[in-house]
Amino acid sequence: MTAQPQFVAPAKRFGRGWILQTAFSPDGATLGVATSTGIELLDPLAATPARQLPSPGGYATCLAFHPQKELLASGSNRGQLTLWDLKTGQPAATLAGHTADINALCFDAKGKRLFSAADDKTLRAWDCNSGACKKVLDGHQAAVESCAISPDGKLLVAGTADGNLCFWDAEKATLKKTIAGHAGTVSALCFSPDGTTFASASWDLSAILWDARSLAPIHCLKGHKDFVTGVVFLAGGELLATSCFDGAVRIWSVSSGREKRTRYAHRSYIASLCAHPHKRIIATAGWDQALLVYDVDANRQLNKFEDYSAPLWSAAVAPEAGMIACGARDNAIYLYTVAEGNKAAHLTGHTNDVNSVAFSPDGALIASASDDHTVRLWDSAARKPRAVLTGHEDYVDAVVFSGDGRYLISGSDDCTIRIWEVADAQEVKRLSGHRDFVWALAISPAAPLCASGARDGAICLWDLDTMQLAGTLSGHTGSVFSLCFSPDGAALYSAARDKTLRKWDLESKKSQPIDAPFSAVWSVAVHPGGAFIAAGVDQGDIALIDPDAEETRFLLRGHTATVNALAFSRDGALLISASDDGRCCLWDMQSIMERFVPNR
């Protein structure tokens, strides 16, 4: 009988995750932050550490405070709705029913009902006392992206991905009217404090003020140059704030519909906007990984929370295992020092996502590959740029150093592999053999051999001495995400979109799938001693697989989303993982090995 795998927690976590939504508590004393790694509760005006609530199961996508009780509702990207007891910091109830991402939540003014909007095209009405779903409001033709309820609890408005506004009788749960209010996704909705008007924000670059009785538009607010992501009434109801993908916050007069002020608060797009219930204070969260608290009347910043992190596409560990490099979606490379903890240094220069990073064999250089079509070399000690390598005509997805450090190899969506001389940062060879995007590369530890994997499932082997094609491997029916060689170089492991992990015998060129019950395999790495295979699998787990028995012995749990990259330290004492959740986790392999090897 196959033994059940043991669960292991990470030794360290680096990165705070990225922000999806924010909300003020009814008294304005707490700022709730829904992130990719859990929920934070902050004092908006102080620098005190955040109070942490654990991940609700996946990302925390949205939240809402109960208007009267110390209760918080949160939704997740796995369709789970959780009610949190804020006194204990523990879940009070888990509400099941949605089958896709939950995008928005709102309580009625008395706190008796909670409404949730989701990608499954439904609104759901929940009884806050029993936790029961009282009604499924399913008349929408597209994902429900936003919702808001009037202060008197009678009118519920839902905004959908097709630009419609759906008006529901909140008490009878019947659809009253549908209006094609926008030409793009309705990203946010809110009612004025007196309930006479409501506002909608949309990806059609506009926001609209509506009469809550007649449901007719009053003012169309134009001026944003990109998607409008948020809209809130400020305390008193005379002013309205909107946020945008261009990093701008605009303040509008409700009576005239005219713009009063523009503030470029963030260097990147704003993901969330919320307003203090009693003061003209707003909080904005941007993809520059900052959360800002701003006094609108005084026109000044009151507080700034930093060190949030973007989704991580790649990771590498320095040869001496003192430094970790991660390539991120916000165009930066995050550098973490293992001994010092969570504070990251940033290498900036790329102008698009950083898809891959690698350390040179001596650790002196870091290479990075980006969607900006370039490869860059960095001095790892000085943390400064060394060279920009240009030539690729599309996204560059993978980069590796040759075993002797002489060459750098890059793979791209232009379907080519390029070999660069590291010393002079010049291209020396262009390899053409793939017919689709090259997404993965690996270097043999035992021979001058490079493996490349492509979106069409093809794997090629390249002789780095002759710089010629040495063979091809066929078997995958989906995109190859990750490759790695066995420690002796005799085998190659591949992870692919076809949900298989394969081991290839490089002499016979034949493969066998690793028999493990995965619904997805995103990344793969082999322990330097060959004791086990690490695979990034379902919903953020990492499986440690016994290569002889082909059984999962351990499941490493520290991420809330896809693990995009895995890398072992040279001595095998550490494993690092990088995820869509914006976190890099460090795993103590020595302690795991003490439990793993005797059981083989």
Q: Which uninterrupted H or E stretch holds 593?
A: helix 589-596
Q: Report, as an integer, the average pLDDT of 115-131.
A: 96
Q: Sorting pLDDT into bands at 50, 70 and 90, what band is 2?
A: low
- Gap between the Cα atoms of 306 and 291, Å rounded: 6
- Looking at 148, 163, 180, the residue that finishes a domain is 180
Contact 455, 436 (CB under 8 A): yes
β-pairing, 6-8 vs 551-557, is parallel
Query: Using CA atoms, how far apart are residues 207 and 276, in angstroms rounded to an integer?
Result: 20
pLDDT category at 115 given cuts 50, 70, 90 is very high
Domain annotation covers residue 253: no
Per the domain annotation, does 280 fall within a domain? Answer: no
pLDDT digits (tens, 9 = 90+) for 36-49: 999 999 999 998 88
Kindly indicate the confidence band of residue 597, based on its pLDDT and cuts at 50, 70 and 90.
low
Alpha carbon distance 317, 310 (integer Å):
19
195 in a domain, yes or no? no
- Measured CA to CA in angstroms, residue 65 lies from 30, 32, 35 at distances of 10, 8, 16
Query: Using an 8 Å Cβ cutoff, are 492 and 484 in contact?
Result: yes
d(CA 526, CA 533) in angstroms, rounded, equals: 5
Neighbours of 44 (CB within 10 A): 20
**Spatial distance between the Cα atoms of 415 and 154, rounded to a whole number of angstroms:** 57
Residue 417 is assigned to a structural domain of this protein: yes
Residue at 259 is within a domain: no
Residue 413 falls inside a structural domain: yes
Residues 437, 416: Cα–Cα separation, whole Å: 8
Q: Which two tokens stand for residue 340?
A: 């010092």
Residue matched to tokens 């202060």: 151
Three-state DSSP class for residue 538 = helix
> What pLDDT is recorded for position 551?
87
410 within 8 A of 396, measured Cβ to Cβ: yes
Among candidate residues 160, 180, 200, the one where a domain is terminated: 180
Beta strands in 234-299 (DSSP E): 239-244, 248-253, 259-264, 270-275, 281-286, 291-295
Placement of tokens 């990251």 in the chain = 344
Residue 25 within a domain: yes
Closest to 439 (Cα-Cα) out of 418, 460, 472, 413: 413
More confident position, 377 or 58: 377
Is position 132 within any domain?
yes
CA 256 from centre of chain: 39
Candidates 177, 280, 190; CA nearest to 228 is 190
Would you state the pLDDT for residue 265? 84
- Cβ neighbors of 49 (< 8 A, separation 6 or more) are none
Which has more pLDDT, 467 or 600? 467
Domain count, the chain: 2
Structural domain of 441: 312-599
CA distance 350 to 568: 26
Cα 357–chain centre separation: 18
Last residue of a domain, one of 180, 214, 232: 180
Q: Residue 152 belongs to a domain with what CATH number? A: 2.130.10.10
Torsion (CA) 396, 402, 405, 409 in degrees, nearest 10: -20
Q: What percent of the chain has pLDDT over 90?
A: 88
Given a contact cutoff of 8 angstroms between Cβ atoms, the answer to whether 470 and 451 are in contact is: no
pLDDT at 516: 65
pLDDT greater than 70 at residue 184: yes
Of residues 395 and 5, more confidently modeled: 395
Q: pLDDT: is 595 or 452 the higher one?
A: 452
Predicted confidence at residue 157, as pLDDT, reads: 98
Which of these, 127, 143, 54, lies nearest to 95 by C-alpha position? Answer: 127
- pLDDT score of 398 more than 80: yes
Is the pLDDT higher at 131 or at 596?
Answer: 131
Could you report the per-residue pLDDT of 153-178, keeping only the tens digit for each?
999 999 999 999 999 999 999 999 99
Token digits for 563? Answer: 């693990």
